[in-house]
Amino acid sequence: MLNKTQLKKISLTRFQEAEILYDKGKYEGMVHLCICSLEMALKNHIWSIYGAGFPQTTKEFSMLQEIRTHDLEKLFRLSKQAGTMSRNTKALASWYIVSALDIQVRYSPIGTVIPQDAKEIKEATNQLLKFFKIKR
């Protein structure tokens, strides 16, 4: 099992990789990694509610199959953060930007994500990582 420190490190590393891609103008890949970063941040929070570590094997996942998803909306509901986020306007605005993102962006033609959207997604992801206590 992965512990909270490992989950946070993975989440932060995916965001750092996204920033590198952003700087190189590789926006579809950047969005994909932002989604991965947020997914790990949400799973970190969820697993802190349900257990001591995050499952890695099929057997370990059998306890909580519903977190075995890339769907940010579903993970957000499972994280039980709606009430807390509703009182944080920056986090809430950021959530509205990223909540509709789809992991399938990784299959999008190059040029699908425009620079302005990429910038907003990167900034929103950064804000949410602070909200989920992945970043300071």
Q: Give the count of alpha carbons within 13 A of 34, CB side only.
A: 31
| pLDDT score at 114 | 95
Mean pLDDT throughout 13-25? 98
Q: Which two three-digit tokens encode residue 136? A: 């300071």
Query: Which residues neighbour 50 within 8 Å (Cβ) at sequence distance 6 or greater?
Result: 63, 64
Residues in the chain: 136
Average pLDDT, stretch 59-76? 72
CATH class of 4-131: mainly alpha
CB 105 within 8 A of CB 31: yes
Q: Hey, what are 54's tokens?
A: 């995050």
- pLDDT tens, position by position, 70-121: 888 888 888 878 788 888 899 999 999 998 888 888 888 999 999 999 999 9
Helices (H), 1-136: 4-23, 27-50, 58-61, 72-79, 82-86, 89-98, 115-131
Q: Which range in 13-22, 36-45, 56-65 is most confidently predicted, on average pLDDT?
A: 13-22
Domain locations along the chain? 4-131
pTM of the model as a whole? 0.84
